[in-house]
Structure formats: C-alpha cells, structure tokens
Amino acid sequence: MEIQKLYDLDDIEFEDVAIGLVRLAKDIPAHEFFYKINQINGLSFSRKKDVIIHGAYYDYFFPRFEAYHKSTKTCFTFISNRSSESKQKKLQTELFTEEENIKFLLNNQADVEYILHTSEEIPDFSVILLPENLVFPIQDYTLSSEEELYQIIQYYE
C-alpha cells in the first residue's frame, strides 16, 4: 500500500515579503531613536530577543524592536541591518574566508540602519511617524523567498 503525499514542497508557492528600509540621517544610538519614535507615535517599541545567525566562525546578533499598533492591530518590527555583537566560535585558519566579525542582513544595503517589517499582508509603513531630520523616507523593498533574510523573517514571525 502506497502512502499518499499530503503536500509537495515544490508545489507550494512562496509569496514575496515587502519590507521597509530605514536609513538614519544622523548617527544616534538605538535607545534614543526608539524613544523619539515612541514619543511621536504613542507606540511602545521595546527590545525583543535578538535575531541570531550562526556562521561557521561567528554567531551574529541583530537587535530587534517590536510594537503593537492598537488601532490597526498590526505588529511592527525593526531589525538592525548590522550585527551589534558577534561571538567567535572558532579561529579562522583559512586566509580568504568570506566571514568577518561584522555581518549585514542585506549585504548590498550597508547604509541601511534598520529593516522594518509588519505582520500585514500589504504593509503600510506610513502609519509610523518617524522623527524629522533623523530619518530619510522609508524605502520599500521586496524580498523573494530565495533570500536568507526572507527565511529569517519567517522564522522570527
């Protein structure tokens, strides 16, 4: 008797995820940035468990901040694009490894400070007011299911 296959991973369609890229105009610490966002919006962004990526030589930690918007019933998440901490697991014995002690979630967007994600299917980042003169306008960005960051967001959601 043959066991029936319930689903085939090749047949599952993965939808792209829309995120917002947040670039700071001034270099300010995270606590000051989120204090100003919380004041303007009446939201309560707080630090959550860091996003952790395990590399061959380092473990990377990316700060994550979340808030729940009561009127839209949406969860907003800011994830730092740059690792705040890295813990070395073993010594590098090879000369040309691509792994360094600092990692970016979006390697091609090193100038981005935070990645903004929402629990909504169609995100509306205009709900969050950002401090004037501290932040450039949020840039919309689409992640495909093949990208590492897509998998990370799905895991921490």
In a domain, 22, yes or no: yes
Q: Which domain holds residue 109?
A: 17-156
In a domain, 12, yes or no: no
pTM of the complete model beyond 0.85: no
The band of 96, judged by pLDDT with boundaries at 50, 70 and 90, is low
- How many domains is the chain built from? 1
In a domain, 71, yes or no: yes
In a domain, 8, yes or no: no
The band of 14, judged by pLDDT with boundaries at 50, 70 and 90, is low
- Residue 6: the pLDDT is 40
Q: Please report, as a single letter, which amino acid is at residue 155.
A: Y
In a domain, 61, yes or no: yes
The mean pLDDT value of the chain amounts to 83
- Residue 130: the pLDDT is 86
- Residue 145: the pLDDT is 78
